[in-house]
Chain A
Amino acid sequence: MTIAERQAEIIDEFEMFDDWMDKYEHIIELGKDLPLIDAAYKDEDHKIRGCQSQVWLHAAPEGDKLRFTADSDAIITKGLISLMVRVLDDQPAAEIANTELSFIEKIGLHEHLSPTRSNGLRSMVKQMKLYGIAQAAQQNAQANG
């Protein structure tokens, strides 16, 4: 599935929830199910500091793609992270770099990306894209070199 297809799938999935409670119940479940980041990467180097909650993010190249694992100390943040990972993990670096992530807004959870929340999520999205940009640039350099 492409990034766009994965986003569409999540939007569909959230359409069945009418009220905020069911939506958050689902996010909390996703948070609980998120495969944990390897303990070795849950360190200061991989920490994305938020004011409210902390996020750890690890990226590893696999061919032309990037693999992401992540974690957070807050379960709602973790649930939202799991959605980000679901969309961007195992996708071509160049596409990660250039993609527009619209699904968070479409499922009505845009407030969690607001700078006032300061939960680390906004910085995490930025960081994932930066990994994409760096990896894509490296691949280009290798292809041209």
Chain B
Amino acid sequence: MQNTAAKTFPIERIRADFPLLQTEMNGKPLVFLDSAASSQKPQQVLDAIEQYYENDNANVHRGVYALSQRATDAFEAARKTMAAYINAPDEHEVIWVRGCTEGINLIASTYGQRFKTGDEIIVSHMEHHSNIVPWQMLCERSGAILKVIPVLDNGELDMVAYKELLNERTVFVSVVHVSNALGTVNPVVDICNMAHEVGAVVLIDGAQATPHGKVDVQAIGCDFYTFSGHKMCGPTGQGILWGKRELLESMPPYHGGGEMIDKVSFEGTTYNVIPFKFEAGTPNMAGAIGLASAADYMTSLDLDAIEQYEAELLAYATGEMTKIEGLKVIGTAPEKHSVLSFLVEGMHPYDLGTLLDKQGVAVRTGHHCCQPLMERFGIPGTVRASFAFYNTREDVDRLVAATTRAVKMLS
């Protein structure tokens, strides 16, 4: 187990691809452990965006001229790349959205229009606010009821309770694939199978899954899957919503505007086919091309190797950090991805985070947009170190040393 993936993983070459990882923070070489919030970007992605603006920029799907055709080809090729990244059977099922938050809001606003009083929607207690609030808003509008899958003490979902929540009134289940605050990898295949048995439709929030390994929407068996590009080395403001064709076709449009229409008249407007029906206005072309470039970059490193390398790094970090007296890991599920959330007895996360920052270690502190989850654990928040494939054991050692020093100062 010791160092198996680390031996063959080309970590030095990878780190050289990320300009920001070569910089300093507060006069110390930067140790970036906040990739769960937003990852750093490799030069390849930055180049792809620059190359698009320098050579291919024109509005897509409208021009008769060669440049516009080139932009359209690049844009649609990017869609194909993203479909392959999650093994979607048909690229027309892949909708460009700004990010995971917009993906969830789109579903709540469109698919959700069919929900009525008494219908039940299930989320879990470990959801990010973006997978809670859109459903609460929908419940207010529709009279549907929000049900919550409890979380066990180790940060796993209570699947027994989930089974009990499911019934013939359950119309929708929206659950996170990997918890941003705890790192728990949820049993999404079982979640989908069980929901389908009662006829409910399932959306999986994959924001923290797509940066860390292979995702196969067909193997998962979900009906919708959404994720953000900026967490997987892509640019900000671009993400993906995938949905099954028959569901997408049955849904009303989200935003009205150009591109999403078939024919417009004041007597009545008809809508375009999928995916364009959900893509009103000029899309984020550079974002799409940048995201596809990020997917290519990660695929070229081998997503299985990334997953294995990160698993070893997390195990090493967990082992080293728990040697610090009074340090408690929040979220100890057997299946975890790249997140180490912790507290030190008697110390506030803000104090620890501030002192880590001064030592060049970037972590996140607070509730991680999961207030209900923090309340469930009876804590104000955590310090969260989150890893990506460009982090090293040296980064972990710096984290351990900086935390040890901070703890000493605060004791």
Contact = CB atoms under 8 A, between A and B. Distances in A.
B358 A52 contact: no
Contacts of B381: 52
Interface in A38-56: 51-54
Given A20-B26, A20-B358, A75 B410 contact: yes
Contact of A52 (B26, B347, B365): B365
A28 B408 CA distance: 12
B348 A21 contact: no
Interface string A1-43: 0000000000000000000110011001000000000000000
Interface of B: 26, 347-351, 353-355, 358, 365-367, 380-381, 409-410
Contacts of A118: 366
A83 interface: no
Interface in A97-137: 112, 118-119
B225 to A, nearest CB: 29
A76 interface: yes
Contacts of A60: none
Contact of A77 (B350, B380, B409, B410): B350
Contacts of A53: 348, 350, 380
A20 B218 CA distance: 52
A99 to B, nearest CB: 26
B366 A51 contact: yes
Contacts of B367: 51
Contact of A76 (B26, B350, B366, B380): B350
Contacts of B351: 28, 74-77
Contacts of B365: 52
A107 to B, nearest CB: 14
A28 B350 contact: no
Nearest to B365: A52
A62 interface: no
B358 A21 contact: yes
A28 B409 contact: yes
Interface of A: 20-21, 24-25, 28, 51-54, 73-77, 112, 118-119
B360 to A, nearest CB: 11
Given A20-B26, A52-B366, A119 B409 contact: no
Contact of B350 (A20, A21, A119): A119
Contacts of B354: 24, 76, 112
Contacts of B347: 75
5 contacts: A21-B358, A24-B358, A52-B366, A75-B351, A77-B351
A91 B103 CA distance: 53
A24 B349 CA distance: 15
A25 B366 CA distance: 22
A51 B367 CA distance: 8
A24 B366 contact: no
Contacts of A25: 409
B348 A75 contact: yes
B366 A21 contact: no
A119 B26 CA distance: 20
A74 B350 contact: yes
The 3 closest A-B pairs by CB, nearest first: A74-B348, A74-B350, A53-B350
